[in-house]
Amino acid sequence: STQSTWGFFFSSKKPKKMTDLAKLNDFLASRSYIVGYQPSKADATVFGYLEGVNVPAEFPHVRRWHNHINSFNPKPTAGSDDAAKQFAPVSAGKAPAADEFDLFGDDDAEQAARDKELMQKRIADQHNSKKKQVIAKSSVVWDIKPWEKDVDFELLESLVRRIEMDGLHWGIAKVEEMCFGIRKLQIVATIEDAKVSTDMVEDLIKENEELVQSVDIASFSKL
């Protein structure tokens, strides 16, 4: 029945709580009447439940609707037969079914669907953003020359590889002959340009001052 349906939202002719008015306000934001496009007994019934309620200004759509329905001077009692007779039904000769007065059930379902769609769109946007993000990287080859020709290159390489920082990735290494029996350690690294400075890496390698005479970049290429 109309009374039992609206009794779910209102009781004793007054809203149960301010959230009832808030829901009604949201419902009426895009509607002139409770059901259809002309005043109906649904309007009279809800008007009756709001009898004696001073609708706050924070619910402008309820106030607009309330003032409009009040202009018909219905003065119904909530859920009464008098309320049902104030206006013609929406469809001629047939009173609206009770579920037609469920203002918020369909809206809640529609809002949940919209929220789910929005969440899925945000996740997709974040995924696409990560895919489009390009991390600038470079490949660097360092020549590390020792003080002595009989230096322990395995030790030297291990000391270099101990240098760790975010965005620095060591690659292959080899010992190369230069001249007069002097050799050098050549080691490759991939760096993320935004995170790693070649000068910083070189300074850290040179901290092994007892073994390292000089550090030079043999080649540098963007990836």
Q: Please report, in tens digits, the pLDDT of each residue of the chain (223 residues total).
A: 444 434 434 444 455 566 778 888 888 888 888 888 888 888 888 888 787 778 888 989 989 998 888 887 765 444 444 444 444 444 434 444 444 445 445 555 676 777 778 878 877 877 776 666 678 999 999 999 999 888 999 999 999 999 999 999 999 999 998 888 889 999 999 999 999 999 999 999 999 999 999 999 999 999 8
In 3D space, the residue among 162, 169, 173, 166 whose CA is nearest the CA of residue 139 turns out to be 169
Which of the 8 DSSP states describes residue 97? P
Q: How many residues does the chain have?
A: 223
Integer Cα distance of 44 and 80 in angstroms: 9
In 3D space, the residue among 29, 26, 71, 21 whose CA is nearest the CA of residue 46 turns out to be 21
Integer Cα distance of 74 and 72 in angstroms: 6
Tokens matching residue 85:
């007779």
Helix (H, G, I), strand (E, B) or coil at 74: coil
Integer Cα distance of 223 and 221 in angstroms: 6
pTM of the predicted protein model: 0.42
* Chain position carrying tokens 């935004």: 194
